[in-house]
Chain A
Amino acid sequence: MSTARRMRLWGLVVERASGGPVTVEHACTVAIAATGADGAAVAVVLGASSRETLYAGDGIAADVEDLTTTLGEGPGADALGGGPALAPDLATAQSLARWPAFAPAAVELGVRAIFALPLQVGAIRLGVLDLYRVDPGELDHEQLIDALLLADTVCALLLDAYGREAPPAYGREPESAGLQHPEVHQATGMVSVQLGLTVAMALVRLRAYAYAHDRRLHDVARDVVARRLRFDPDRDCGAHA
């Protein structure tokens, strides 16, 4: 369900866009403010040959991403293949043990805490949202909720960026990529077989179809699962009932 908090955060992201299209940068700016971070970056893997920095809010964020890519370790690398990797203090022995090359190098850059949130939907791995702080300290309960919600937003923005059909109105929140409706994920799997595409591209197409027909994603998904709607690779419009 779209909670009041999700709506409030989306409102802040739209505000940042000042009437223009909402981008990952706007979501990151809100994430920085909401979580008390000093910087943010988004690295992507989908459509890129390897890990690529899509957005870095400042020089330090860009350096942290370079470090992660070069060393192949760090919270931002761990979060790519699993759950969030939260490192409230990179200078501890524990962090050093987990990331022997990355942790000291990041501290050297002046970064003491990194919170890496995966941008993923089941098997679909889009990338990572990295938030960093120059001072050590955990994300508190409220900050964690906001960080996870904004990671959902970044995920949705990335998925929609791959589609031909943009969300109909910039003010409308993009469809959340979460678990709430199992049919969406079942339909994603089904459409990937129908179109012979990866699940990532199947989800992009499902979302684009929902936007183009001004329908909710889970309603479209329900039709696919009930086999009332099929996606056809030979048809340009993509699907037929």
Chain B
Amino acid sequence: MAEFALADVLVEMADTLVDEFDVIDFLHVLTERCVQLLEVSAAGIVLTDQRETLQLVAASSERTRLLELFQVQTNQGPCVECFNTGRPISVADLRSACRWPQFTAASAEAGFRSVHALPMRLRTEVIGALNLFGVQAGALGEEKLRAAKSLADVATIGLLQQRAIRHRDTLTEQLQTALNSRVLIEQAKGVLAERLRIDPDQAFNLLRAGARSHNRRLSELAQAIVNGTEQLPEKVRRAG
């Protein structure tokens, strides 16, 4: 992994942190960059719902199977442990990990051999985790681990940036808003999937392409689609 590549991603993410950015879209792009930069197979971001459960808010792929695996991860596994301890957890070979039978079985079924979890920290509080899956066994390596930590920090900054300047003590507001945006996007995926007779993961890609081509925030477009006030443009639909 070249040093300049990490710098490029950091610059790209910083550029995104402008006034009207969409937090879910931001986190989604970040997970995609994790996959490219860290040479892992999949990446996801889970956040605390402040009700003692972790929730997936963004993943590098919206494949249902992967989403389900992340969901298992929110109950038991390295991610929960990372969140609870505030420390990175790395499992180089899942075949020799017997602490989380349910998680290990689900990972193997999805074809993964290694998993790494990096805490997302805000001062003393852990608010979530960046989760990386590999199809090969192996540790992440010193350099990539450092890069992964930086990317987890960028995710935290993105999450808090949204309205942090306006009010103090807004962690709860930010987290809950991000979690609700994710629910909204799932609803919009369902609306599109039914209208266009496609899978929910294809619907996500369409939604994102639609937001991009119209320079709209992902959650705004999702809201308009759910309300029925807006359809996706024909060219985006055909592209899907």
List residues of A whose CB falls within 8 A of some B CB: 1, 3, 5-6, 82-86, 88, 94, 98, 118, 120-124, 138, 144-145, 148-149, 152, 178-182, 185-194, 199, 225
From known contacts A185-B183, A190-B194, infer whether A148 and B177 are also in contact, taking CB-CB under 8 Å: no
Chain B nearest CB, measured from A127 CB (Å): 14
B225 CB to closest chain A CB, in angstroms?
A: 9
In angstroms, how far is the closest chain A Cβ from the Cβ of B84? 14
Quote the shortest CB–CB distance from A87 to chain B (angstroms): 10
Report the Cα distance A152→B180, complex, angstroms: 12
Q: A94–B168 contact, CB under 8 A?
A: yes
Check if B194 sits within 8 Å of A179, measured CB to CB.
no
* CB <8 Å contact, A194 and B194: yes
Which residue of A120, A124, A192 contacts B191 across the interface (Cβ within 8 Å)?
A: A192
Question: Would you call B194 and A189 a contact (CB within 8 A)?
Answer: yes
Across the interface, which residues of A come within 8 angstroms of B172, CB to CB? Answer: 83-84, 86, 144
- CB contacts (< 8 Å) of B173 on chain A: these are 82-86
With a cutoff of 8 Å between Cβ atoms, the chain A residues found around residue B186 in the complex are 122, 182, 185-186, 189
User: Cα distance A193–B222 when bound, in Å?
Assistant: 15
* Contact partners of A148 in chain B: CB under 8 A: 49-51, 176
B67 to A: closest C-beta gap in Å:
6
30 interchain pairs, CB-CB under 8 A: A3-B51, A3-B52, A5-B51, A82-B173, A83-B176, A84-B173, A85-B173, A88-B169, A122-B187, A144-B172, A145-B51, A145-B52, A148-B50, A149-B51, A179-B49, A179-B183, A180-B53, A180-B55, A182-B186, A185-B183, A185-B189, A186-B187, A186-B189, A186-B200, A187-B190, A189-B187, A189-B191, A189-B226, A192-B187, A199-B191
Tell me how far the C-beta of A101 lies from the nearest C-beta in chain B, rounded to whole angstroms.
18
Docked complex: B142-201 residues within 8 A CB-CB of A: 167-169, 172-177, 179-180, 182-195, 200
B136 contacts the other chain (CB 8 A): no
Which residues from B are CB-within-8-Å of A182?
56, 67, 71, 186
List 7 additional A-B contacts (Cβ < 8 Å) besides A123-B227, A190-B190. A94-B167, A178-B49, A182-B71, A188-B187, A192-B187, A192-B191, A199-B226
CB interface residues, B 50-79, toward A, < 8 Å = 50-53, 55-56, 67, 71, 74-75
